[in-house]
Amino acid sequence: MLDRPHPTPADPCLDPFALAKALSGVHFIGGGYVPGRNGQSFAVVNPATGIEVARAAEGDAADVDVAVQVASRAQKDWAKVPARKRGAMVHACAALLKEHQEELARLIALETGKALRTESRVEAGVVADVFEFFGGLGSELKGESVPFAPNVLSVTVREPLGVVGAIIPWNVPMLLMALKVAPALVAGNTVVVKSAEEAPLAVLRICELMNRILPPGCFNMLSGFGPECGAPLVDHPKVRKVTFTGSVETGKIVARAAANKLIPVTLELGGKSPMIVFADCDFDKTVSGALTSMRFTRQGQSCTAASRIYVERPIFDRFVSAMKDAVNRMVMGDPLDEKTDIGTIVSEGQLEKVRGFIEEGTRTAGATAHVCSAMPTDPALRKGLFIQPVIFTGLGADSRLVREEIFGPVTVMAPFDDPEAVLAEANDSEYGLAASLWTNNLKVGLDLAHRLEAGLVQINQNLVVQANLSYGGVKSSGLGKEASLEAMLEHFTHKKTIMVNMG
């Protein structure tokens, strides 16, 4: 363990560059920073400038084993702590994270390129909210009494599963981690998180902050690559549950590995979420709703992004043009600059992937690419991974841009004439994470809401995941729910039946 309890210049540290440097080269295991065993590390790059800001420890199976063994030992005592007391500790963590909100916001902006004002600060706030919410649910870990026979007392109790392995992506790493770690801990499990290679720093800092309150070994954090560090975590015999957010492809690998061990797995795997706009909607509210729905301020890097927008024909042209105007007004620039609405794509790999989609769409006969906003002009951002938002019209329903998750600032828009036809089109997707409907006719809206194949349907709004509301998809969008009380009970505990024959 390193003699470095708090990586300060100052605490909270509002200089993300200094903090990033201080967090270099380490995992967090058993209550302290631990250097990677193989001494290898990889670069953490500021995607706005292309400059390396830190090195992350390149974890492997040996690090995984140490972390899981530590978590497994800690779990025995953690499970004995009364549930409400565990909750109280998690609640106290939320308060500490609130004190560090600005620090975390800057750090996540630095490593992911998400704009501070529009995205990073918001994420840091929601993270604290998620820990606060689950911290209050300790008393809900209760069982039932079952009327079995007059002389037999039959009760159920909720027990933790053991060590939880959590694998997270880079788009909203702090929040997606919180949705896993908070319920797992309150339910009496201990956790080993494998962070995303593109964004290992802010989650590492959160782990350290929470370890100031939690007993050592309950919450551990590893950085590293998927096959070298994520896979051994899933495979480790002492990991009794895996919870994963990321791509469909990797989700299937994780699910297969979990099946080999017969352990439960929760998967959140993205989407191709439709937004359906009726002519009777509140026009201005819906245009601004489309901007938030598409998560343009997050460069569209969202699993619930409204990446297919269907608009009733009478208002289609006006809607496209109003959306273009609105996106044109958004400012692209340095993520750490308060004036910036839109930051950068997270990595070169993602940038190439998104560009590939845009080129394909642009080449498609009959399609129009409406390129919006403007590239930043600051020479310091010359190597930044910026990409202008694109609104496509005129693409057919079989286009790859309509069918596949782009995970970039690219949305496709199409007119519709008939609610049944648009419903069929919306449901004609491999995915089923989220959907939104915009209409003042709630009879039509509710009818379609019931028939849309999605885990979350919103009418006249399109919020991101919220504490207390079940969140999770159908079809290829995943298995299981997150963010709610049932999510904690169903996915982080098992129900044991105890019977006493009193003769």
Tell me which residues touch ligand NAI (CB under 6 A): 167-171, 194, 196-197, 225-227, 230-231, 234, 245-247, 250, 253-254, 268-270, 303, 350, 353, 405, 407
CA distance 212 to 168: 22
Q: Considering the complex, what minimum distance in angstroms separates the CB of residue 349 from ligand NAI?
A: 7
Q: State which residue, 9 or 227, has the beta carbon closest to ligand NAI.
A: 227
Of these residues, 119, 268, 312, 405, which one is catalytic? Answer: 268
Tokens of 325: 């105007």
Give 170's contacts (C-beta < 8 A, 6+ positions apart).
112, 196, 197, 198, 199, 346, 347
Of these residues, 303, 312, 453, 481, which one is catalytic? Answer: 303
Cβ burial, residue 135 (10 Å; 0-12/13-18/19+): buried
Residue appearing with tokens 């995303």: 196
Q: State which residue, 414 or 465, has the beta carbon closest to ligand NAI.
A: 465
Q: Considering the complex, what minimum distance in angstroms separates the CB of residue 216 from ligand NAI?
A: 24
Tokens of 20: 């990033």
Q: State which residue, 227 or 396, has the beta carbon closest to ligand NAI.
A: 227
Phi, psi (degrees; rounded to nearest 5) at 264: -70, 150
Q: Considering the complex, what minimum distance in angstroms separates the CB of residue 288 from ligand NAI?
A: 24
- Decide: 280 and 443 in contact? Cβ < 8 Å: no
Q: Considering the complex, what minimum distance in angstroms separates the CB of residue 388 from ligand NAI?
A: 18
- DSSP calls for 122-184: HHHHHHHHHHHHHHTTGGG----B---BTTEEEEEEEEE-SEEEEE--SSSHHHHHHHHHHHH
The continuous run of DSSP H or E covering 373 comes out as none
The DSSP 8-state label assigned to residue 227 in this structure reads I
Q: State which residue, 305 or 437, has the beta carbon closest to ligand NAI.
A: 305
- Residue 482 designated active-site: yes
The residue type of 59 is: G
Tokens of 79: 């499970």
Q: Considering the complex, what minimum distance in angstroms separates the CB of residue 186 from ligand NAI?
A: 23
Q: State which residue, 243 or 245, has the beta carbon closest to ligand NAI.
A: 245
Of these residues, 13, 111, 180, 372, which one is catalytic? Answer: 180
Comparing every residue's Cβ against ligand NAI, the nearest one is 226
CA distance 190 to 188: 7
Q: State which residue, 194 or 295, has the beta carbon closest to ligand NAI.
A: 194
Q: In the chain, what's the furthest Cα-to-Cα distance? A: 84
CA distance 321 to 86: 52
> Closest Cα partner for 287 from 310, 320, 312?
320
CA distance 481 to 471: 5
Q: Considering the complex, what minimum distance in angstroms separates the CB of residue 355 from ligand NAI?
A: 12
Q: Considering the complex, what minimum distance in angstroms separates the CB of residue 197 from ligand NAI?
A: 5
* 3-class secondary structure, 499: strand
Q: State which residue, 121 or 295, has the beta carbon closest to ligand NAI.
A: 295
Catalytic residues: 180, 268, 303, 482
